[in-house]
Structure 1
Amino acid sequence: MAFEFSSKHIQEIPLDNLTSENFLIIAIEVARKLKWKIFSIREDGFIAYTKMSMRSFSEEVNIKILYKTVELKSECTGIQIIDWGKNKENISNFIYSFNEIKDSFTIEELDQEFEEIKPIFISKEEVILTHSSSSIKEKITGILSIFKPTHGYFITPIIIDLNIVVFLIMAIKGVDIFASDSDSLILWGANFRPLTLDGQWWRLFTSIFLHIGIFHLLMNTIALLYIGLLLEPRLGKTRLISSYILTGIVASATSLWWHDLTISAGASGAIFGLYGVFLALLTTNLIEKHLRSALLISIASFVGYNLILGLQGNIDNAAHIGGLLSGIVIGYSMVPSLKRNDDLRSKLNHIAFATVITIALCTLIFKSIIPYQFEKYGSLVERFVELESMALEMFEMPESTPAEDLLFEIKTRSLYYWNENKKIINEANLLYLPDPILDRNKKLLQYCELRIQSCQLIYKSIEESTDDYSSQITETNNQIEAILNELNIK
């Protein structure tokens, strides 16, 4: 099954009575007439780029002269699924203009001009080197090829495969494939401040390979595929994997700093890191000048859209921003080594430097996080549950229990334990805790007060041997039930 990442249109036309040399010269004149930017000319054709428009950022037009025919291909730069008919229009305009001017040249003029441009021809190998991402896209011809490592596209499919394998193992172990529950995510290594800061630092790494559901995995796979095809041919295997891991760790640390009790997982922080790297490179001369504007607008639009989307909630925008910013820093830091691409020492020095940057950023983030007093709070909660259990023992007494014993139980035990639990909650409120827990403490305090009110009403009802308090008891118990339901939801 065919699978395309960017829209394109291909058409073959006959050479007719023209030689390949004659056709090349006329085609160059047509490209100039259409105001296309000619990037590279070779003996069997050339590559040109159209201007940006409302329908497309830009298209790459590849003219390739074969034996008796010419292949005309127009393809969107980067990865653009819909071209709104622009690629077909480019080819149609070329053919129309070609037929319009081809008879205006003499054979002598065409031969002379061919000799004049021969010195600027580049080899086919140079075309491949300067259009590495395009050559990689040509190899992705089907769904299965997305997951298969190949030259220039090696690390990206491995990361994709690893994410999918982890997801499948989780599914086999019983984790919901549509919306993983919190306990499962924590068990499999999600990032969670109370645990990560408690010494489980490995969660900063493992969380970037976990996904909360199949839709989450699909969206991240597409985004990773997009940037991987553009970036890996330019960075190589080592730089790409180090950028992915390091920016992913910074993204996890940023999420940790921003969120109190959020369980975070997913590759999106690391993916935003790769986008940050590419944004940095697009502001340098390492990317071909004719591609910079189109790709910069395309990548910036993608990043901006996803950051705005993240404001809607349930999306860890803190991780996105942390990954993006760290990616930009790492991207600029690798510029010197990319200029000396064959220098192994320069490459290793960059990776070491990027690692130091990551450690420094994470250290700054962690130092700015004041640890919550979860351990002390946990002890208080355990004591609260213990006293609550004892306070509720009055409801376990047999119906035949004498009234005096019931009154004694309520007065000396139940009321005492509920008042003690109020003290525990007030003590807990003095601890440094996140707002959601403090809000929960308010509900627990209301719960204790309602329990005390219920006990007092039951005490009066027994002491006075009357049913006059029944409606009040029922109303109070309903309020207790409502608070318990709210606490369970939270």
Structure 2
Amino acid sequence: MAIGITPKYQEEIPLHALTAQEFLTIATEAVARLNWSIHYQSASGFIAQSSTSAINSSSEIKLIIEEQTATISSESTGGEMIDFNKNKKNVQAFLAAFDTVQAEISPDELSVKSQELHNSLDLSAADLLKIPAESATQKVKNFFSLFIPKRDFFFTPILVNLNILIFILMAIGGANIFSPSSEILINWGANFRPLISIGQYWRLITNCFLHIGILHLLFNMYALVYVGVLLEPMLGKSKFIAAYLLTGIGASLASTWWHEQTISAGASGAIFGLYGVFLALLTTDLIEKETRKELLTSIGIFVVYNLAYGMKGGIDNAAHIGGLVSGLVIGYALTPSLRNPEKPSLGIVSIAALCILMLFSSFGVIKSIPNTESLTTYDKRFERFRTLETMALGVYTLKADAKKEDVLYEIRDRGIYYWNENISLLDSLEQLNLPPFVRERDKTLKEYCNLRIKAYELMYKAVDENSHKYDADIAKINQQIESMLKSFE
């Protein structure tokens, strides 16, 4: 099984008693028997294309003869990264056909056909087969081609690019690239049952494009490319993107139903969904039997290993299972349209039916979870914190020529008073059933209020005593406040 940016297999064959022209003649006959098409030929070899089917894309077959050795190679086309021995089978099929032709053709017939082939070649043109081997720069370009949409590999690179772009934007916005905070994930659209229960249903899909650290992103994107290069050519653009989005929602629904307070994010639920679609197709005869066995083994190992690894904790296995199960359902639902590609309306009907099924499933799951009132109550009561904070900061709006007694009143009877009111408000909010990240933020807000009170007390002394001896201490506290304010951004 070849794996690479463009999987390839090749073998070298000694010419023995044959001339280069005779070898090329027999090779050309062998290609004709295999029903492969030659789209370039010279005195030193040819470039051909293997036959294709609804499931298997074609390969480029290249024969190059140099001195007393011929090199036959088969290289994948169509954006494949894994060929599951397809290229090796092509080379073996060519060698078998070559041996058959060589055994059947007589010396006289070989001589006539060799001359005919020689006469048909344009020997004055530059030989494309003698162009230098691919450079390191070209190999790098080939790698980056994985991020460029192609005919049979269209939505996979778009999804990869979108996931990477969102991660970069999160990092630019201040998210830690190794472990972004819960609050940042929530702000960017992570899945969270209390927020889903109050109507933020869009989180069921937005969380599929967020990642909890760069390693999480890299592992998921590798898995997405792995399954995308295999599955997207089989499904086609519309079925593939529909499968990704619908299984992503299915994974999010499972996570929402299972977890009360877990913040969930990542493309892995949708990726497991694509593997579920693939597993469903592997139980049908849409893929040839020999290839199906190899794929079932490799895909099965991936699924079982990752589900087992998810049992360790810290991984949303509910989303993985939800994505896998919804993928199996979608895979079987799409099978009739894949069997009848000449009926495109069948595919449209299948996708529409799946969308309706997912809509009703979403309605059922959301209605089955208890409505979380605590965050709604929290949001309403927290509005007072903002109002009190604005009034407490009123001292900074006083004019420079304000009377001393007015400044002292604003600091003590309004500023310090309102900061203490906010501390009491935060204490009262602790009685609500709040998620951990909200409790952690409120704890930091209480520290912020206490720092403000310390600064105001020193400001009161400075004004009352008409002294500058507190300036350094006030500046130090203000630096702490400034640093804390940045952490809230």
Question: Given the two structures, how large is their TM-score scaled by the length of structure 1?
Answer: 0.58
The equivalent residue for 1:10 is 10
For 2:332 and 2:139, how far apart are their aligned partners in 1? 29
Mapped pair 1:42 → 2:33: no
Mapped pair 1:193 → 2:193: yes
The equivalent residue for 1:240 is 240
For 2:107 and 2:141, how far apart are their aligned partners in 1? 42
Mapped pair 1:345 → 2:339: no
- Partner of 1:10, secondary structure, is strand
For 2:139 and 2:355, how far apart are their aligned partners in 1? 33
Worse-matched range after superposition: 373-382 or 266-275:
373-382
Cα pair distance change 1:372/1:176, threshold 3 Å: same
Give the C-alpha shift of residue 338 in structure 1: 1.4
- Partner of 1:71, secondary structure, is strand
The equivalent residue for 1:366 is 366
Mapped pair 1:309 → 2:306: no
Amino acid at match of 2:329: V
Residue by residue over 1:102-132, the C-alpha shift from the partner in whole angstroms, topping out at 9 and shown as x without a partner, is 99946349989xxxxxxxxxxxxxxxxxxxx
For 2:161 and 2:310, how far apart are their aligned partners in 1? 26
For 1:195 and 1:73, how far apart are their aligned partners in 2? 53
Cα pair distance change 1:196/1:338, threshold 3 Å: same
Worse-matched range after superposition: 314-323 or 367-376:
367-376
The equivalent residue for 1:289 is 289
Cα pair distance change 1:196/1:43, threshold 3 Å: closer
- Partner of 1:198, secondary structure, is coil
Amino acid at match of 1:305: Y
- Partner of 2:73, secondary structure, is strand
Worse-matched range after superposition: 180-189 or 292-301:
292-301
Give the C-alpha shift of residue 274 in structure 1: 0.7
Cα pair distance change 1:177/1:239, threshold 3 Å: same
For 1:14 and 1:333, how far apart are their aligned partners in 2? 51
Give the C-alpha shift of residue 152 in structure 1: 0.8
Whether the 8 Å contact between 1:244 and 1:271 is mirrored in structure 2 is yes
Whether the 8 Å contact between 1:4 and 1:141 is mirrored in structure 2 is no
Residue by residue over 1:388-432, the C-alpha shift from the partner in whole angstroms, topping out at 9 and shown as x without a partner, is xxxxxxxxxxxxxxxxxxxxxxxxxxxxx9xx99xx97xx8xxxx
For 1:348 and 1:87, how far apart are their aligned partners in 2? 31
Cα pair distance change 1:338/1:171, threshold 3 Å: same
The equivalent residue for 1:412 is none
Where does structure 1 lack aligned partners over 5 or more consecutive residues?
Answer: 29-37, 49-59, 113-137, 386-416, 441-490
Give the C-alpha shift of residue 359 in structure 1: 1.7
The equivalent residue for 2:216 is 216
The equivalent residue for 1:265 is 265
Whether the 8 Å contact between 1:63 and 1:73 is mirrored in structure 2 is yes
Give the C-alpha shift of residue 47 in structure 1: 7.2
Percent identity, aligned pairs only?
A: 41
Worse-matched range after superposition: 160-169 or 351-360:
351-360
Mapped pair 1:149 → 2:149: yes
For 1:46 and 1:199, how far apart are their aligned partners in 2? 54
Residue by residue over 1:44-71, the C-alpha shift from the partner in whole angstroms, topping out at 9 and shown as x without a partner, is 68979xxxxxxxxxxx998654677441
Cα pair distance change 1:211/1:238, threshold 3 Å: same
Whether the 8 Å contact between 2:171 and 2:177 is mirrored in structure 1 is yes
Mapped pair 1:274 → 2:274: yes
Whether the 8 Å contact between 1:275 and 1:327 is mirrored in structure 2 is yes
Whether the 8 Å contact between 1:63 and 1:70 is mirrored in structure 2 is no
Cα pair distance change 1:376/1:42, threshold 3 Å: closer
Residue by residue over 1:222-245, the C-alpha shift from the partner in whole angstroms, topping out at 9 and shown as x without a partner, is 000001100111111111111100
For 1:320 and 1:277, how far apart are their aligned partners in 2? 13
Give the C-alpha shift of residue 357 in structure 1: 2.1
Give the C-alpha shift of residue 371 in structure 1: 3.2
The equivalent residue for 1:328 is 328
Whether the 8 Å contact between 2:250 and 2:326 is mirrored in structure 1 is yes
- Partner of 2:322, secondary structure, is helix
- Partner of 2:152, secondary structure, is coil
Residue by residue over 1:245-264, the C-alpha shift from the partner in whole angstroms, topping out at 9 and shown as x without a partner, is 01001100100111110000
Amino acid at match of 1:300: G
- Partner of 2:10, secondary structure, is strand
Mapped pair 1:107 → 2:97: no
Amino acid at match of 1:72: S
Whether the 8 Å contact between 1:47 and 1:61 is mirrored in structure 2 is yes
Give the C-alpha shift of residue 142 in structure 1: 2.6
For 2:107 and 2:277, how far apart are their aligned partners in 1? 48
For 1:210 and 1:234, how far apart are their aligned partners in 2? 27
The equivalent residue for 1:72 is 73
Cα pair distance change 1:94/1:286, threshold 3 Å: closer
The equivalent residue for 2:251 is 251
- Partner of 1:334, secondary structure, is helix
For 1:324 and 1:27, how far apart are their aligned partners in 2? 42
Cα pair distance change 1:91/1:14, threshold 3 Å: farther
Cα pair distance change 1:183/1:96, threshold 3 Å: same
* RMSD after superposition: 4.7
For 1:139 and 1:271, how far apart are their aligned partners in 2? 27
Amino acid at match of 1:42: W
Cα pair distance change 1:104/1:189, threshold 3 Å: closer
Question: Given the two structures, how large is their TM-score scaled by the length of structure 2?
Answer: 0.58
Cα pair distance change 1:237/1:80, threshold 3 Å: closer
Across the two proteins, how many residue pairs are aligned to each other?
A: 342
Where does structure 2 lack aligned partners over 5 or more consecutive residues?
Answer: 39-47, 52-57, 111-137, 386-423, 440-489
Cα pair distance change 1:9/1:19, threshold 3 Å: closer
For 2:152 and 2:59, how far apart are their aligned partners in 1? 22
Cα pair distance change 1:62/1:294, threshold 3 Å: farther
Whether the 8 Å contact between 2:10 and 2:74 is mirrored in structure 1 is yes
